[in-house]
Structure 1
Amino acid sequence: MFTVIGEALVDVVWRPGAAEPVEHVGGSPANVALGLARLGDPVGLITQYGPDEHGARIADRLGAAGVALDRSDSGAARTATATARLSADGAASYEFDLSWAPKDLTPYPGSVAVHAGSLATLAPGDAVLADMLAGVRGGTVVSYDPNIRPTLHGPVEYARAQVARFVPLAHLVKASADDLAWLYPGEPVEAVAARWLAAGSDLVVVTLGADGGYLATAGYQLRCAAPPVDVVDTVGAGDACMSALLDGLLRAGALTVDTLPALPADAARQVLRRALTAAAITCGRPGADPPTAAELAARLAC
């Protein structure tokens, strides 16, 4: 069982030249949970959504995929939304209407890993999340994705402080090149990864868009090229990568607090290649639509 913690919302996607938006169930943690379920992993999402049409869509979509749901909400009046405006190359910019204020967080029983990040690491819910992660990280792998959204994470000084707070709580940190460019302009990816490893993480992965991905541990660094893809949009691609990273590490027998630091470089390369392929599949279709295990295996076999 995986536990994923954070926002579930509805993405309202405006495409160039469209007269009306298209709506998709989204939210980075919800997308990660969906991706894990499609890869065949038992997973539960701790989230918040309201008793409205959007909330019903979230419950239907995630429930149909097999994701267990714990609303853990404090009487949310409405479901959060994210308005995504796509550029001609498929990249998305976001505007949010949401809140995150859990009173208590408890991982699902028997969880092999707890994943959190994105908007769940912001006030007022950040303190509850940080306390929970600190309590479980001694025996359970914790993964963290900052998933920076400048309109919500800013100002940059606050975002840097929050990242510095959560990185030491995580064994695995995944970020994008865009995250790092906003947080630490001009600083090389390698330098940021080295700082995060020194802070206590065992594995750092940075997605580089069309340039593939970068992975670092205390003992080695490696890069993998991006699989070819005709991009429809990039919505949910990083989340599909995160799901496949966790799933791949589990399949490699490396998803424990003792085995993750000893992950061999050849196994790490295979895990990263598989995760980048999951992201590429997602880029090739609209919205946050991560691949199933069969779709991922078929693409890797090509």
Structure 2
Amino acid sequence: MEEVALVAGETVADVVRGPEGDRTVPGGSAANAAVALARLGREAWLLTGWGDDDHGALLESHLAANGVRLAAQPCVFEETSRAVATIGPDGAADYDLTIGTRLPEPMLPADVRPVVLAFGSFAALVEPGAAVVRSLVERWRDRALVYYDVNVREKVTGTGAGVVAQVEALVAGSHLVKASDEDLAALWPGVDDATAAVRLLDLGACAVLVTRGPRGAAWFARDVRVEVPPVAVEVVDTIGAGDTLGAAAVDALWRLGVVGPGAAERLIGLTPGVVEDVLGFATRAAGVTVSRPGADPPFSSELG
């Protein structure tokens, strides 16, 4: 039986606008995470959708070149989702999004067993993809490490009470939750990220990973709180940084055996020293991604 990561969410053609003009590159939170896992040596299966167009062909070629397998036939849109990313002087990206959130039903071979379920971003919150995500969480929660990457944008998901309730329900079904400080501020205005992380723990998450951009990252669990600084690099842009960081954290947990049945108990039992190692590896991986243009996560050979 082949143990794999099943990643569910959108793939997007990123139109990156910078000082040297526009360029179109493969992207999307789920696609970035799947590629990051594959480059770190994991078998990654992606449940996603795109259109039968040039952008869809670009995404399909990119995933195949990186060894990512498809968990279902992905051509479910008339037009592939697109994000126009304008890069600011500090490398941060501002997005104008046209996103489809339909997900097909997974069709995994009988000899493939997910020991990680990774999902998040827009498809987890916007129907009809959200219904597929909910069914995946219900199916795999007791059999895999369930990792939820929170991503909210006013223009796509909204940030009101209904969205907060959706996020909270998904958190309650997840073991590891990652959110940026910006996501948490959008969901709970005026609440600091540490307080918001504790709220997520109260909902049922075993651990919460908060990314803080230039301030590094933090890990919150019931008896553990660890903070790490960012890796000192020259930032080209931040596209895919959070996706890489989360995927690298999952890879590090995989090496520790924190996957499959019983992942929740093992995740809760991690000591501060082990968590610091996990975060250190994850931030180093993200540091590589921000040091080069687009969502271009590192290979395992680049991380030593």
Q: How does 1:99-114 map to 2 (within 5 A)?
A: 99-105=100-106, 109-114=112-117
Q: 1:14 to 1:254 in 2, by over 3 A?
A: same
Q: How many residues align?
A: 295
Gaps of 5+ in 1: 298-302
| Paired AA for residue 127 in structure 1 | A
**Partner in structure 2 of residue 29 of structure 1:** 30
TM-score by length of 1: 0.93
**Partner in structure 2 of residue 292 of structure 1:** 299
CA deviations over 1:59-98 (Å, ceiling 9, x no partner):
1111111100134447322211111111111111112222
**Partner in structure 2 of residue 239 of structure 1:** 243
Q: Which moved more, 1:286-295 or 1:139-148?
A: 139-148
2:91 paired with 1:87: no
**Partner in structure 1 of residue 207 of structure 2:** 203
2:125 paired with 1:124: no
Q: Which moved more, 1:183-192 or 1:149-158?
A: 149-158
2:138 paired with 1:134: yes
CA deviations over 1:178-219 (Å, ceiling 9, x no partner):
111222122122211111111111110001111111101111
**Partner in structure 1 of residue 221 of structure 2:** 217
CA deviations over 1:222-280 (Å, ceiling 9, x no partner):
10111101110000000010110100001122232331221122111100111011111
Gaps of 5+ in 2: none
Q: 1:107 to 1:163 in 2, by over 3 A?
A: farther
Q: How does 1:148-227 map to 2 (within 5 A)?
A: 148-227=152-231
CA distance in 2, matches of 1:103, 1:26: 19
Deviation at 1:107, TM superposition (A): 6.2
Deviation at 1:283, TM superposition (A): 0.6
| Contact 2:71/2:106, CA 8 A, preserved across alignment | no
Q: Which moved more, 1:118-127 or 1:200-209?
A: 118-127
2:96 counterpart SS class: strand
| Paired AA for residue 157 in structure 1 | A
CA distance in 2, matches of 1:104, 1:140: 18
| Contact 2:237/2:290, CA 8 A, preserved across alignment | yes
CA distance in 1, matches of 2:76, 2:25: 23
1:75 counterpart SS class: strand
TM-score by length of 2: 0.92
**Partner in structure 1 of residue 278 of structure 2:** 271
Deviation at 1:140, TM superposition (A): 1.3
CA deviations over 1:41-63 (Å, ceiling 9, x no partner):
11110100112111111111111
2:66 paired with 1:65: yes
CA distance in 1, matches of 2:183, 2:265: 29
C-alpha RMSD of matched pairs (Å): 1.6
Which structure shows the bigger proportion of residues in strand conformation? 2
| Paired AA for residue 301 in structure 2 | A
1:182 counterpart SS class: helix
CA distance in 1, matches of 2:123, 2:156: 11
| Contact 2:217/2:229, CA 8 A, preserved across alignment | yes
| Contact 1:49/1:79, CA 8 A, preserved across alignment | yes
CA distance in 1, matches of 2:197, 2:76: 39
**Partner in structure 2 of residue 300 of structure 1:** none
Deviation at 1:162, TM superposition (A): 1.9
**Partner in structure 1 of residue 51 of structure 2:** 50
Deviation at 1:135, TM superposition (A): 2.0
Q: Which moved more, 1:151-160 or 1:162-171?
A: 151-160
Deviation at 1:289, TM superposition (A): 0.4
